[in-house]
Amino acid sequence: MRQPVTACIALGANLGDARHTLLQAIDGIGQLAGCTVMATSRLYRTSPWQAQGPDFVNAVLRIDTLLTAPELLQAMQALELAAGRERPYVNAPRTLDLDILLYGAGRIDSPELTVPHPRMMQRAFVLYPLADVWPDFVQLQDLQRVQDQPISRLD
C-alpha cells in the first residue's frame, strides 16, 4: 500500500472573481481521491510579478496525497481547465494557476514537472503563504530576500 506524501500546491488567479476561484480550487483539491488538505494559507493580494494584468490573489495548500507526482500534476491541470484556464502566452493573466511546489522530499526534473519548484524561493507570493502552512520550511532570510515585492493579506 502506498504511503501518503506531503505536497505543497501554490494557487493564483488574476482574472474574473479570483478570490472565489481560489476558494473553489481549494475545495476541488480537497475532493480529489487520494488527497487530504492538511493546511490552507491565508489569501494574499500581489501585483503581477514577471507577468501582466490585474493583481493576483494567491494561496498555498499543504496536502497529503496518495497520487504520484504526475497524477497530481494531471489533476491540477484538470482543475485549471475546469476554471477556464487558457495559455495564450507565457505568464499571461489567468483564471487559475496551480503549481506543485514540493512533493515530499522528492526531486523531479522532467519536461512536464520540476520539483521543488525552481523559482519558489524568489517569489513573495509563494513564500508568505508557504510560511503559513509550513513555517519550519520558510526561513526569515527567505522572506527578507523578497521583502521588496509588494504583498498584502486579504481578510
Report the Cα 103 to chain-centroid distance in Å.
Answer: 12
Q: Which of 62, 94, 132, 142 is catalytic?
A: 94
Q: Which of 19, 87, 99, 148 is catalytic?
A: 99
Q: What is the pLDDT of residue 106?
A: 84
Q: Across 65-69, 91-95, 151-155, which has the greatest mean pLDDT? A: 65-69
Q: What is the pLDDT of residue 88?
A: 55
Residue for cell digits 515585492? 149
Report the CATH number that the domain containing residue 80 is assigned in CATH: 3.30.70.560
What would the pLDDT profile of 106-139 be if each residue is shown by its tens digit? 899 998 998 998 889 999 999 999 999 999 999 9
**pLDDT of 93 higher than 90:** no
Q: Which of 42, 64, 87, 97 is catalytic?
A: 97
Q: What is the pLDDT of residue 10?
A: 97
* Percent of the chain's residues with pLDDT above 70: 95
Known catalytic residue at 94: yes
Q: What is the pLDDT of residue 102?
A: 96
Please give the tally of structural domains in the chain. 1
Q: Which three cell numbers stand for residue 2?
A: 502506498
Lowest mean pLDDT among 24-28, 86-90, 130-134: 86-90
Cα-only R_g, the chain: 15
Tell me the HSE value of 109 on the side-chain side, using a 13 A CA sphere: 2
Average pLDDT score, the chain: 91
**pLDDT of 87 higher than 80:** no
- The Cα–Cα gap between 55 and 52 comes to 9
Q: What is the pLDDT of residue 34?
A: 95
What would the pLDDT profile of 35-61 be if each residue is shown by its tens digit? 999 999 999 999 887 777 899 999 999
Q: Which of 85, 123, 132, 142 is catalytic?
A: 85
Domain with 85 in it: 5-153
Q: What is the pLDDT of residue 45?
A: 96
**pLDDT of 31 higher than 80:** yes
- The Cα–Cα gap between 95 and 2 comes to 33
Q: Which three cell numbers stand for residue 27?
A: 475545495
Known catalytic residue at 2: no
